[in-house]
Amino acid sequence: MITAGIDCGAKNVKVVILEDGKVTGKAMAPAGIDAASAAEKAFDDALKMAGCGREAVTKVVSTGTGKSEPKFKNDIVTEVGADARGIHYLYPNVRTVIDVGAEEGRAIRVDEKGKVVDFAINEKCAAGAGAFTEAMARALEIPLEDFGPFSLTSNQEVPMNAQCAVFAESEVVSLVHRKIPKQDIARAIHNAIADRITSMVRMVGVTPDVALVGGVAKNVGFVASLKEDLQMEITIPEDREFVGAIGAAFVAADAK
């Protein structure tokens, strides 16, 4: 049986094609202003990789902020449910999933069957989401993809007082004026977002194994700060951005 999972995020749409419990195709497209057509495109790309047509797909389940957007979906699942199902397939030993996306952060505690025990979400404040690092990288005039590696070259800790992304931007500017090396500021920024995420994770409890998923998991600077905060190893799936979509595809398969 072939199913599909779509994760319609604030920034990117991710699609996964699942055939008999194995991922056979995946694709990603920027959500832009029209998430529905981005979903169509990512779906076609993923099908191409899997080598099958739309008619072969039994069921399509959608998740993410824009989960109601894709026209070809049959059902929807919550982001929390999708993450939990996805991580259970990838790493069944994981008990705590941390998902940091462009505009949301989530911490989910799952049991050995992949069932959700508890969760916490921040969707109100940019300070605990990718939007924060993006705004700060822009303020420092460093390309986002270089931002993480660049912060790892820092060798001194600089405190940041502001929590709010808007206030932090002013603080970054004043740190630059004070001639603080940019890599130290970059590290302070990653420490700040890691602190926000950590306090959210503590609300559900930090039970090992801990996995980090979502787009911000690509940022090595953030990962380093988070490890320091949590004082433990963190599992990061290779398909860190596709965990929600994988989960949605499994939810589709589970329902038959």
Binding stretches for other proteins (CB under 8 A): 33, 103, 124-127, 131-132, 135, 163-167, 174, 177
Q: Residues 173-205, buried b or exposed e (16+ Cβ, 10 A)?
A: eebeeeeeebbbbbbbbbbbbbbbbbebbeebe
CB 76 within 8 A of CB 62: yes
Q: Are strands 210-213 and 96-100 parallel, antiparallel or unpaired?
A: parallel
H or E segment and range at residue 118: strand 116-122
Least spacing, CB of residue 131 vs other proteins, in Å: 5
Phi first, then psi: give them for residue 86, nearest 5 degrees: -65, -45
**Residue 34 vs 228, nearer CB to other proteins:** 34
Instruction: Decide if 42 contacts 27 (C-beta within 8 A).
Output: yes
CA pair distance 62, 128, nearest whole angstrom: 24
> Between 167 and 228, whose beta carbon lies closer to other proteins?
167
Which of residues 113 and 179 has its CB atom nearest to other proteins in the complex?
A: 179
Considering the complex, state which of residue 109 and residue 190 has its C-beta at the smaller distance from other proteins.
190
- Closer Cβ to other proteins, 31 or 248, answer by number: 31
Q: How far is the CB of 96 from other proteins (least distance, A)?
A: 25
